[in-house]
A and B are shown apart, each in its own frame.
Chain A
Amino acid sequence: MSPDHSSPGAGHAAQDRAAGHATFLGMLPFPEAAERAVGDSQLRHNLRMATRTIRHKREEVVGELDDWSALRAAGKAVKDRTLRHLDTYLERLEAAVTAAGGRVHWAADAAEANEIVTGLVRATGETDVVKVKSMATQEIELNEALAQAGIIAYETDLAELIVQLSDDLPSHILVPAIHRNRAEIREIFRDRMAAWGVAAPEGLGDDPRALAEAARVHLRERFLRSRVAISGANFAVADTGTMVVLESEGNGRMCLTLPQTLISVVGIEKVVPTWSDLEVFLQLLPRSSTGERMNPYTSTWTGVAPGDGPQEFHLVLLDNGRSDVLADEVGRQALRCIRCSACLNICPVYERTGGHAYGSVYPGPIGAILTPQLRGTASAQEASLPYASSLCGACYEVCPVAIDIPEVLVHLREEVAASPGHRAEKAAMGAAGWVLGGERRLGAAQRAASAARSVVPRRMPGPASAWTDTRDIPEIPEESFRAWWRREGAAEPAPGADPAEPGRSGGDEEGGRR
């Protein structure tokens, strides 16, 4: 039984909620999930408004810096250098954290990380923990693992709170409730807050200030009561063993300072060698993510300080597939990611589908290259992700650490195409390759198409309906360019004659052969 809550029966209700938490397991492949999403007019509107707002803010503040491209190159270089010598920097980090009074744990996968964290919380005797917004703990589904051990994890980031209260899934890295508008948030607060602690005030409106105040009152009570906090980290400085969290609300800092015990679950790629390396990212991240010159709260902590803040600190270093990603020469650049979300906000696909369609805590373009690398491409869901992009390149352009996302997408498509199955596509690609493999074959195929031009239906059956359901097909010309060229194009026109004039139709196509 968890400690008493301000509303009767809240402990039970919260535990039920936590146990029944939604999960990304068993999600549909991207095209099917996206079909549902693009038909949701409310979702489309919410996403359009939100992504455009952040996108423009980012563009403005990035445009202020003359040296943005140099910063971006520096960010890329620091991450690449660190990843090349990751073993060295991780051991340096471990030594520094230990020297500062923290304890370091190594977790090879999600199960191991969850086991370590659960054990650490159990050892404190507590059954409630507060959480700082963290992608790594979402990735390993820590809340669900804790719930199974009878421990309730309370999300304290405003957007994560909205997601948790509504038994929903995050749909964005930075703004997990981006798919919700304030009217929906008001309803969630009104209906669900009481089951998790302090209830929403009577007559709660949808004014952002009122909503924020309701969350503040709800969370404040939680902060003052909790003795264990779990966080991630945006960066971990190897030289000094310092963890760094950037946030906007101050709720993270409450978690990082008030409890007795702090457990941080950090992906091994989050390490940076020194504070001067960190400086680069403290400029890149806020401008790329929230579109701010500087984020409101930057918290740093190094081990434990007697009489100040948590007196017990654990760092859980998480691999969970990252070593495999590092082994892939093309794919490893995904490990440079600093989780800013600029690629999500600019992506025309994400803007229309939202994050849930990606079936992972990492949605959008970065998710489309990270999820299949972390989880493999064996299932239809993960295998569909590398294709969830038109390869327009907008993500690469805005990425603050220059991850060439289209390059990795194509690389992963090669992996999927080389795996068993996909027989229809392989046959079609093989046929196209054969036709295009010789100019005579191509010419013959073009003549066949032209001969059939009058009988091509406006709406096609089978796979071609994917095109003709929403688009007309172009009119097939009477002759291809190469047929025209052979017939008359190759001849230099007499002065005044117009080589562009199609002229006589149905001329002998081989007639102009020279």
Chain B
Amino acid sequence: MRIALFITCVNDTLYPRTGRAVVRLLRRLGHEVVFPEAQTCCGQLHYNTGYRREAQKLAVRFVETFADADAVLAPSGSCAAMVRDNYPRLCAPGSRLDRAAAELAPRVHDLSELLVDVLGVTDVGAYFPHTVTYHPTCHGLRLLKLRDRPYRLLRNVRGIDLRELEGSAECCGFGGTFAMKNADVSAAMAADKARNVAATGAEVLCAVDNSCLMHIGGTLRRQRAGVATVHLAEILASTEQEPARL
């Protein structure tokens, strides 16, 4: 299958290794990856902060860039949710953008959706000999409703020791500009999340959203907790021949 990668601005700028892992994984599974270079950002930052006009412009760009794609992969749960859940709120009902966005939305997927629902695979032949716990980010949980998809993928990874995370459904406290505007509450939430992560004994925290991982991981690193944070794609891309480096 030909898959258009929407890398997302955060991954593009700060986590290219997640993008490279996605490319490697999908090619290994026999699919073609294209990267439309006109892409930039879904507009979530502006939308969530109350800057609707700027968000609309970015939505137009996204829809135009990906209009012809058979399937769009956004390796960030909240960006996929932005397109599917919030674009309808952003567009004037019945407008051209509204119709185009609605037409495109069902073809926009998070990584676990793409693999499980579209490509029909739960065992991607990965090898990751580490103790891992999974944080099901808020937008993955409540907007995309990923349910057990990421767990099904992780359970099939060879060598993995998957640990359950206490209070997993609770927000980590990132929330985009929330982390800056309400830094104290955000830090208090991260402290509790970090405590729960540490309690699992895992050496790796995994999620489908690098923004949340940037926040939890930044907290863990500040504490010198010795827990690495990796995107689901990096675990799934890891093989015995080419194991992921932490």
The answer to whether A binds B is yes
A-side residues, CB < 8 A to B, are 30-31, 34-35, 38-39, 44, 348-349, 352-353, 386-394, 396-397, 407, 410, 412-418, 425, 429-430, 432-433, 436-439, 442, 445-446, 449, 463, 466-467, 469-474, 476-477, 479-486, 489-490, 492-493, 498-502
Which B118-151 residues have a C-beta within 8 angstroms of A?
A: 138-139, 142-143
Which of the listed residues A414, A436, A463, A489 has the most CB atoms from chain B within 10 Å of its own CB?
A: A436
- Contact indicator A390/B178 (Cβ below 8 Å): yes
Residues of A within 8 A of B15 (CB): 474, 477, 481
- Is the beta-carbon distance between B17 and A470 smaller than 8 angstroms? no
Question: Is residue B221 within 8 Å, beta carbon to beta carbon, of the partner chain?
Answer: yes
Q: Are A437 and B20 in contact (CB under 8 A)?
A: no
Most chain A beta carbons < 10 A, residue from B45, B186, B221: B186
In the assembled complex, the Cα of A164 lies from the Cα of B54 at a distance in Å of 48
B139 to chain A: closest residue by CB: A393
- Nearest chain B CB to A498's CB is how many angstroms away? 5
Please determine whether A481 and B19 come into contact, CB atoms closer than 8 angstroms.
Answer: yes
Contact status A482-B12, CB under 8 Å: yes
A-B contact sample (6 more), CB < 8 A, given A31-B181, A391-B176: A349-B189, A390-B138, A413-B50, A430-B54, A445-B13, A474-B217
Contact pattern, B 157-185, Cβ under 8 Å of A = 1, otherwise 0: 00000000000011101111111111111
Which residues of B line the A interface, CB within 8 A? 7, 9, 11-17, 19-21, 23-24, 27, 35, 37-41, 45-52, 54, 57-58, 61, 89, 138-139, 142-143, 169-171, 173-190, 214-215, 217-219, 221-222, 237, 242
Chain A residues within 8 Å of B217, by CB: 472, 474
* Closest residue of A by beta carbon distance from B241: A498
Chain B binding surface SS class: helix
- Choice from A432, A480, A498 contacting B242 with Cβ under 8 Å: A498
The interface residues of chain B lying within 8 Å CB-to-CB of A489 are 19-20, 23, 35
Given the contacts A387-B178, A393-B142, A436 and B41 also touching, CB distance less than 8 Å: yes
Contacts of B188 in A (CB 8 A): 38, 44, 352
Q: Is the CB of B215 within 8 A of A482?
A: no
Kindly name the residue among B58, B179, B185 whose own CB sees the greatest number of chain A CB atoms within 10 A: B185
Which A residue's beta carbon lies closest to that of B40?
A436
Q: Are the C-beta atoms of B12 and A446 separated by less than 8 Å? A: yes
Query: Given the complex, which residues of A lie within 8 Å of B138, measured CB to CB?
Result: 390-394
Question: What's the least CB distance linking B228 to chain A, in Å?
Answer: 12
User: Per a CB cutoff under 8 Å, which of A387, A393, A438, A484 touches B181?
Assistant: A387
Which chain B positions have C-beta within 8 A of A392?
A: 138, 142, 170-171, 175
Contact of B11 among A397, A481, A483 (CB under 8 A): A481
Q: Give the shortest distance, in Å, between B167 (CB) and chain A (any CB).
A: 9
Residue from A389, A396, A413, A500 within 8 A of B20 (CB atoms): A500
